[in-house]
């Protein structure tokens, strides 16, 4: 909320000098990227917790060093 209110004000000021259609296309493009990334994350198998994953990597590295 603290960021959004000045953001809306800035966006509405900034938009006056730009082509509305181009802005909408840019936001739509951004939405497609964000939507695609979210879909990709949703279709991934359940994540291995980062701590477990880093722990496993560290163990492998230690074993190799030995």
Partner 1 sequence: MHGIGYTLAGLLVGAAVGATGVGGGSLMTPVLILFYGVAPALAVGTDLLFAAISKSFAVWLHRRNGSVDWRIVAWQAAGSVPAVLVTLWWLKSLDHGVTLDRLIKLTLSGAIVITALFTLFQEVIAERLRPSARLNSPKHDPRWQRGLTVASGVLIGTVVTISSVGAGVIGMMLLLLLYPRHEPIKLVGSDLAHAVLITAIAGLGHARLGTVDYSISAGC
Contacting residues toward partner 1, per CB under 8 A = 1-15, 18, 20-21, 23-25, 27-32, 34-39, 41-42, 46
CA distances for 41 relative to 17, 38, 44, angstroms: 37, 5, 5
The nearest distance, CB 27 to partner 1, in angstroms, is: 5
Kindly give the residue spans of alpha helices, DSSP state H, lying in the chain: 4-15, 20-43, 50-65
In the block, which residue shows the tokens 């590295």? 61
Q: Please, which residue, 24 or 59, has the CB nearer to partner 1?
A: 24
Q: Please, which residue, 13 or 66, has the CB nearer to partner 1?
A: 13
């Amino acid at each position: 909320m603290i960021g959004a209110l000045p953001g809306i004000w800035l966006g509405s000021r900034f938009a006056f000098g730009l082509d509305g259609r181009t802005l909408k296309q840019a936001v739509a493009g951004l939405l497609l990227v964000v939507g695609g990334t979210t879909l990709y994350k949703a279709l991934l198998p359940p994540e291995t917790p980062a701590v477990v994953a880093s722990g496993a990597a560290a163990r492998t590295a230690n074993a190799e060093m030995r």
